Amino acid sequence: MSAGKPARPAGIGLYGGTFDPIHTAHLRLARALRDELALDSVRLIPSGVPPHRPPPHASADHRLAMARLAVAGEPGLDVDARELTPGASGYTVDTLAALRREVGPTLPLWWLIGADQLAGLERWHRWQDLLTLANLAVAARPGFGSLPLPPAVDALWQSRQATDFANFPAAGRIRALTLSPVDVSATAIRADLAAGGDGLGALPPAVLGYIRRHRLYRIESI
Ligand code: ATP
């Protein structure tokens, strides 16, 4: 091994979401994932029409463009458009399986979700296969830390906690991020934009400029 090279593969972070629009809490989470786990990169993966949620308000092209603007110049943050390509199933388990095939069996993958998504994990397609493909990083979210998890998700949460932070396996472990929760949601931002606001001051300037140029999230569209 050459001098200065890490003894273990650092891994790749994966962060899926509707990003409708992408906001500063999303970016803060992506940076925390990159920095707390010393990852080579974090890929933001905008979802198509999510199977388990209402359709997004902005088109896939707009959400993708905003995500790209938001990460421009951010070291280690990239946008991966695979879920927006025709024929993509939209299921995270399929995305993770494709990524696992691409990176091989040993590179740690870290899939990031907010605590609200953890609470509903049982509703995800083939949810028990997710941890065979990746590790899971969970970010605290206001209103969700104190609620009991459904029993099956709680059992997973208890049994898969990462303990050896120096030797992460390729998949199968769960780790909570330590960053403090922040009470920002795309829903509240869209409502503020529709009322003529600036998105609660929670949008990167380039994203706010894009929204204004393209007249997104106006009252008639939310
Ligand atoms: P909406 O209000 O439209 O549901 P959202 O920002 O919650 O917007 P997504 O864009 O799909 O929804 O979020 C992507 C991921 O980021 C999800 O896993 C979600 O749990 C997480 N997330 C979003 N905002 C926060 C936040 N403030 N704190 C923690 N996690 C968050």
Ligand 1 centroid, distance to 143 Cα (angstroms) = 13
Of residues 175 and 146, the one with the higher pLDDT is: 175
- Cβ–ligand 1 distance for 13 under 6 Å, the answer no
pLDDT at residue 119 greater than cutoff 70: yes
Residue 186 in contact with ligand 1 by CB distance below 6 A: yes
**Which position has the token pair 């609200």?**
116
Confidence grade of residue 49 (pLDDT, cut at 50, 70, 90): confident
Q: Is 116 in the pocket of ligand 1 (CB under 6 A)?
A: yes
Confidence (pLDDT) at 103: 96
Q: What is the mean pLDDT of the chain?
A: 90
Residue 63 beta carbon below 6 angstroms from any ligand 1 atom: no
Does residue 176 sit in helix, strand or coil?
A: strand
- Closest by Cα among 100, 6, 94 to 47: 94
Distance 5 CA to ligand 1 centre (A): 34
Residue with token string 């898969």: 160
Ligand 1 centroid to Cα of residue 162, in Å, is 23
User: CA 168 to CA 162: how far, in whole Å?
Assistant: 8
H helices of the chain, in order, are: 24-36, 60-71, 92-103, 115-119, 130-133, 151-159, 186-194, 205-213
Q: Is 113 in the pocket of ligand 1 (CB under 6 A)?
A: yes
Ligand 1 binding pocket includes 19 (Cβ within 6 Å):
yes
| Best of 147, 180, 185, 192 for a ligand 1 pocket test (most atoms within 8 Å of beta carbon) | 185
Check: pTM over 0.75? Answer yes or no. Answer: yes
pLDDT at residue 2, rounded to an integer: 43
Q: Percentages helix, strand, coil for the chain, rounded to the nearest 5?
A: 40, 15, 50
> 114: which 2 tokens?
């907010």
Ligand 1 center to residue 185 CA distance, Å?
6
Q: Is the pLDDT of residue 173 over 90?
A: yes
- Whether omega for the bond prior to residue 21 falls within 30 degrees of 0, making it cis, is yes
pLDDT band at 140 (very low <50, low <70, confident <90, very high): confident
- Closest C-alpha to ligand 1, atom 18: 113
State residue 71 phi and psi, 5-degree precision. -95, -5
180: left (phi over 0), alpha (psi -120 to 50) or beta: beta
